[in-house]
Structure formats: structure tokens, C-alpha cells
């Protein structure tokens, strides 16, 4: 198996299941033109997020890590009508691009972008009693995933879905001596998720145009 093959299979899947969508294409184009890194979820993963939101009938969604709003738009499209989504982003520049993309996607008034480090904005959400969220998507800096998971639990209810991206990292998570703080952060998160009795969880490895990685999916079973 090679990266070339994974990319071709991703194209095959996207051609079948993720038909061309000008709003999505423009969201990626605007982000690229503004110099944002190309680290949004792949189209088929975006659609998975939409499906998960739809499956759990989400009316309140929280996203940690907005970038240009690509995954935000997918999640919002899976939300029940009348729902709201809050997305947290540290970079003012990323948030500005996301807001442009969100307006273009006709999601004004549905999506709120909050700027600031998520470790500051998450406690604000608790203080404002904005939870519980039906679905929480963790996709910001990897070294803080454990902390984000702890806040996600505070902002959940029984039945809430917690999804986290990039939890395999080319298999680097196997190496306990790896000094990369992102790898260490993900290793801590995966262990915490496995040990947490309040959730039922698993991790699925993924390959595709974004390389070899993985996605964690958990359902809250006790508060
Ligand atoms: C992988 S990108 C998110 C991709 C996006 N979810 C998508 O698929 O379209 C991670 C984002 O998290 C943001 N970020 C990094 N550290 C953060 C922090 N401490 N708090 C909030 N956001 C942070 C980055 O600026 C970046 O925009």
C-alpha cells in the first residue's frame, strides 16, 4: 500500500459519495488563498462528521479547532434544524476566514466562532451553562487533547458523542519514547479515553490523501 494508492482510493470514494459542492470547494479555496495550512479533514471524513451529527440528531455541537471552517460546515449540515454550533479557534486570522466561509455557507446565526485558546474558552462555556452538547469534535492542538477531553466530558450528557481526529499519527503513537509533544499528547489522550468508565469508545485507523491516521469515537454512558 502506498500513499499514491490511498489518494486514488480517496478520490474514488469522494467521486462516489462526496459530489462537487461549490460551497465546500470555496471554503477550501479561501483558506488556501489566505495561507492557512492544508490540515482540514478530508472530504469523506467531513461527510462522516455530517453523518454522525445526523445519526445522533445533534441540535448542539461543539468543535475545538476551527481552521477555515471546513469541518464546521460539514458538522452544521448534519445538525437538526434549529440547532446551533460553537467552534473554538485560537488564531484570529483562522477565525476570520472561517467566518467568511460560514457566511457563504448560509450558516450565519447557526454557527458561532469563538476566538481564544480553547483552555480559556472551554471554561467560559461551562460558566455560561452552554452545555450539554450532543456532539463534540476535538481537532485542535494535539498536546492538549487530554484536557479537551476532560472539558468535553463536563460539557456532555449521557448519549453525547465525542469524536477526536488525528489519534494515530502515522503509527507514531506506538513509540512511547517519541519526544514529539503532539505524539505524547495523543498517547495520553488515547490512554485516558480507554480508561474512562464514563464513555464507551474505540479508535479506527484511517488511510487516504491525508496519510495514515485515526479517528476516536466515544459515546458518554454515564455522567
Ligand atoms: C487541524 S486544524 C482544524 C481543522 C478543522 N477542524 C477542519 O477539519 O477543517 C487545528 C486548528 O486548531 C487551532 N488551534 C491550535 N491551538 C489551539 C488552541 N489552544 N485553542 C484553540 N484552537 C487551537 C489551530 O489554529 C487550527 O486552526
CB neighbourhood size of 195 (10 A): 8
Q: Are 160 and 137 in contact (CB under 8 A)?
A: no
> Residue of the nearest CA to atom 14 in ligand 1?
140
The pLDDT of residue 92: 98
Total domains in the fold of the chain: 1
The pLDDT of residue 216: 98
- Domain membership of residue 126 as a residue range: 3-220
Q: Which of 193, 214, 212, 189 is nearest to 203 (CA)?
A: 214
Q: Is 115 in the pocket of ligand 1 (CB under 6 A)?
A: no
CB neighbourhood size of 103 (10 A): 12
Q: Is 67 in the pocket of ligand 1 (CB under 6 A)?
A: yes
**45 Cβ partners below 8 Å, 6+ apart?**
71, 165, 206, 208, 210, 215
Q: How far is the CA of 86 from the centre of ligand 1 (A)?
A: 13
Atom of ligand 1 nearest to the CA of 63: 6
Q: Is 84 in the pocket of ligand 1 (CB under 6 A)?
A: no
Q: Is 70 in the pocket of ligand 1 (CB under 6 A)?
A: yes
How far is the C-alpha of 12 from the C-alpha of 8, rounded, in Å?
Answer: 6
> Residue of the nearest CA to atom 7 in ligand 1?
40
Between vectors from CA 105 to CA 99 and to CA 108, what angle results, nearest 5°?
55
What tens-digit pLDDT sequence spans the chain (223 residues)?
Answer: 699 999 999 999 999 999 999 999 999 999 999 999 999 999 999 999 999 999 999 999 999 999 999 999 999 999 999 999 999 999 999 999 999 999 999 999 999 999 999 999 999 999 999 999 999 999 999 999 999 999 999 999 999 999 999 999 999 999 999 999 999 999 999 999 999 999 999 999 999 999 999 999 999 999 8
The pLDDT of residue 223: 84
Question: What does the buried/exposed string (b/e) look like for 30-43 if buried means 16 or more CB atoms within 10 Å of the residue's CB?
Answer: bbeeeebeeebbbb
The preferred substitution site among 42, 89, 137, 166 for testing ligand 1, maximizing ligand atoms within 8 Å of CB, is 89
The CATH number of the domain holding residue 122 is 3.40.50.150
Amino acid at each position: 500500500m502506498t500513499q499514491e494508492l490511498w489518494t486514488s482510493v480517496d478520490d474514488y470514494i469522494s467521486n462516489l459519495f462526496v459530489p462537487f459542492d461549490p460551497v465546500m470547494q470555496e471554503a477550501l479555496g479561501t483558506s488556501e488563498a489566505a495561507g492557512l495550512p492544508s490540515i482540514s479533514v478530508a472530504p469523506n471524513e467531513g461527510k462522516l462528521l455530517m453523518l454522525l451529527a445526523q445519526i445522533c440528531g445533534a441540535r448542539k455541537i461543539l468543535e475545538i479547532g476551527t481552521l477555515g471552517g471546513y469541518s464546521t460546515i460539514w458538522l452544521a449540515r448534519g445538525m437538526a434544524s434549529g440547532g446551533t454550533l460553537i467552534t473554538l479557534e485560537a488564531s484570529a486570522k483562522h477565525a476570520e476566514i472561517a467566518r467568511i466561509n460560514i457566511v457563504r455557507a448560509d450558516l450565519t446565526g447557526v454557527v458561532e466562532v469563538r476566538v481564544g485558546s480553547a483552555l480559556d474558552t472551554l471554561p467560559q462555556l461551562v460558566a455560561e451553562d452552554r452545555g450539554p452538547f450532543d456532539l463534540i469534535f476535538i481537532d485542535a492542538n494535539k498536546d492538549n487533547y487530554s484536557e479537551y477531553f476532560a472539558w468535553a466530558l463536563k460539557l456532555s450528557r449521557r448519549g453525547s458523542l465525542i469524536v477526536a481526529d488525528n489519534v494515530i499519527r502515522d503509527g507514531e503513537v506506538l513509540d512511547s519514547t517519541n519526544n514529539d509533544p503532539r505524539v505524547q499528547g495523543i498517547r495520553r489522550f488515547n490512554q485516558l479515553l480507554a480508561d474512562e468508565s464514563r464513555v464507551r469508545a474505540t479508535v479506527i485507523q484511517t488511510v487516504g490523501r491525508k496519510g495514515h491516521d485515526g479517528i476516536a469515537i466515544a459515546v458518554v454512558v454515564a455522567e
